Amino acid sequence: MTGGAMEPRGFTIPLTPSGQAAAAAGPPWYFGADVIQVEYHVAEESLLPFLPPGVELDPADPGLVQVAFSTMTAASAEIPSQHCTAPHDVNFNECLIKVRTRVGDAPGWFVTHSWVTNDVSLLRGFVQGFPKRIGKVAVTDFHSLLEQTGGRRPGARLGGVLEAPDGLRLRVLHACENEGSPDDVAALPFYLRRHFPALQPPYEGLVDEIVSPVVVEWQNLDVWAGRAEVETTGSSEAAVLVTPVDTPTSRSFRSTSTITGSQLVHRIRG
Amino acid sequence: MTGGAMEPRGFTIPLTPSGQAAAAAGPPWYFGADVIQVEYHVAEESLLPFLPPGVELDPADPGLVQVAFSTMTAASAEIPSQHCTAPHDVNFNECLIKVRTRVGDAPGWFVTHSWVTNDVSLLRGFVQGFPKRIGKVAVTDFHSLLEQTGGRRPGARLGGVLEAPDGLRLRVLHACENEGSPDDVAALPFYLRRHFPALQPPYEGLVDEIVSPVVVEWQNLDVWAGRAEVETTGSSEAAVLVTPVDTPTSRSFRSTSTITGSQLVHRIRG
Amino acid sequence: MTGGAMEPRGFTIPLTPSGQAAAAAGPPWYFGADVIQVEYHVAEESLLPFLPPGVELDPADPGLVQVAFSTMTAASAEIPSQHCTAPHDVNFNECLIKVRTRVGDAPGWFVTHSWVTNDVSLLRGFVQGFPKRIGKVAVTDFHSLLEQTGGRRPGARLGGVLEAPDGLRLRVLHACENEGSPDDVAALPFYLRRHFPALQPPYEGLVDEIVSPVVVEWQNLDVWAGRAEVETTGSSEAAVLVTPVDTPTSRSFRSTSTITGSQLVHRIRG
Amino acid sequence: MTGGAMEPRGFTIPLTPSGQAAAAAGPPWYFGADVIQVEYHVAEESLLPFLPPGVELDPADPGLVQVAFSTMTAASAEIPSQHCTAPHDVNFNECLIKVRTRVGDAPGWFVTHSWVTNDVSLLRGFVQGFPKRIGKVAVTDFHSLLEQTGGRRPGARLGGVLEAPDGLRLRVLHACENEGSPDDVAALPFYLRRHFPALQPPYEGLVDEIVSPVVVEWQNLDVWAGRAEVETTGSSEAAVLVTPVDTPTSRSFRSTSTITGSQLVHRIRG
Residue of chain D minimizing CA distance to A113: D14
Alpha carbon separation from C234 to A231, A233, B79 (Å, rounded): 10, 6, 18
CA angle at D107 for the pair D106 and D111, rounded to the nearest 5°: 125
For residue B155, the SS3 value is coil
- In this complex, the residue of A73, A157, A171 whose CB is nearest that of residue B149 is A73
**pLDDT by residue (tens digit) across B173-183?**
999 999 999 98
Residues 6+ apart with CB under 8 A from D71: D33, D34, D91, D93, D139, D141, D142
Average pLDDT, chain C: 95
- Amino acid present at C108: G
Query: Does residue B219 contact residue B182 with C-beta atoms inside 8 Å?
Result: yes
Q: What is the pLDDT of residue C5?
A: 53
β-bridge mates for residue C77, sequence order: none
Residue of chain A minimizing CA distance to C163: A163
Q: What is the pLDDT of residue D193?
A: 98
Q: For an interface test with A, which of D81, D91, D133, D203 has the most A Cβ atoms less than 10 Å from its Cβ? A: D133
Chain B / chain D CB contacts < 8 angstroms: 25
A136/C169 Cβ within 8 A: no
Q: What is the pLDDT of residue C184?
A: 83
Residue of chain B minimizing CA distance to D233: B234
B235/D167 Cβ within 8 A: no
Mean pLDDT of D45-65: 97
Tell me which chains share at least 3 CB pairs under 8 Å with chain C.
A, B, D
Nearest Cα of chain C lies from the Cα of B130 at a distance, in angstroms, of 8
Residues of D whose CB is below 8 A from B136: 136, 163
Q: Tell me phi and psi for residue B55, to 5 degrees.
A: -115, 120
**pLDDT by residue (tens digit) across D202-258?**
999 999 999 999 999 899 999 999 999 999 999 899 999 999 999 999 999 999 999
A233/C235 Cβ within 8 A: yes
Mean pLDDT of B98-122: 98
Average pLDDT, chain B: 95
User: Is the full-model pTM beyond 0.90?
Assistant: yes
Q: Tell me phi and psi for residue D59, to 5 degrees.
A: -60, -20
B261 φ/ψ sector (left φ>0, alpha ψ -120 to 50, else beta): left
Q: Which helix (H) or strand (E) holds B122?
A: helix B119-128
Q: What is the pLDDT of residue D2?
A: 43
Tell me which chains share at least 3 CB pairs under 8 Å with chain D.
A, B, C
Nearest Cα of chain B lies from the Cα of C228 at a distance, in angstroms, of 27
- In this complex, the residue of C136, C161, C234 whose CB is nearest that of residue A233 is C234
**pLDDT by residue (tens digit) across B237-250?**
999 999 999 999 99
Residues 6+ apart with CB under 8 A from C45: none
C238/B21 Cβ within 8 A: yes
Preceding omega of A202 cis (within 30 degrees of 0):
yes
CA angle at D22 for the pair D17 and D28, rounded to the nearest 5°: 110
Buried-exposed string C67-106: b where 16+ CB fall within 10 A, e elsewhere: bbbbbbbbbbebbeebbbbbbbbbbbbbbbbbbbbbbeee
Residues of B whose CB is below 8 A from A159: 83-87
pLDDT bin (cut points 50, 70, 90) of residue B5 is: low
Residue A212 is given by DSSP the state: E
pLDDT bin (cut points 50, 70, 90) of residue B3 is: very low
C233/A167 Cβ within 8 A: yes
Query: Does residue D270 contact residue D208 with C-beta atoms inside 8 Å?
Result: yes
What single string gives the DSSP state of each residue in A101-139? Answer: EEETTEEEEEEEEEEESSHHHHHHHHHHT--EEE-EEEE
Residues of C whose CB is below 8 A from A136: 136, 163
Per-position pLDDT tens, chain A of length 270: 344 457 999 999 999 999 999 989 999 999 999 999 999 999 999 999 999 999 999 999 999 999 999 999 999 999 999 999 999 999 999 999 999 999 999 999 999 999 999 999 999 999 999 999 999 999 999 999 999 999 999 999 999 999 999 999 999 999 999 999 998 887 899 999 999 999 999 999 999 999 999 999 899 999 999 999 999 999 899 999 999 999 999 999 999 999 999 999 999 997
Query: Does residue B67 contact residue B230 with C-beta atoms inside 8 Å?
Result: yes
D77/C146 Cβ within 8 A: no
Q: Which residues of A make CB contacts under 8 Å with B?
A: 30-32, 34, 73-75, 77, 80-81, 83-88, 90-91, 136, 138-146, 148-150, 157-161, 171, 173, 254, 256
pLDDT bin (cut points 50, 70, 90) of residue D5 is: low
**pLDDT by residue (tens digit) across B117-165?**
999 999 999 999 999 999 999 999 999 999 999 999 999 999 999 999 9
Q: Looking at this predicted complex, what is its ipTM?
A: 0.96
Q: What is the pLDDT of residue D188?
A: 93
Mean pLDDT of D124-133: 98
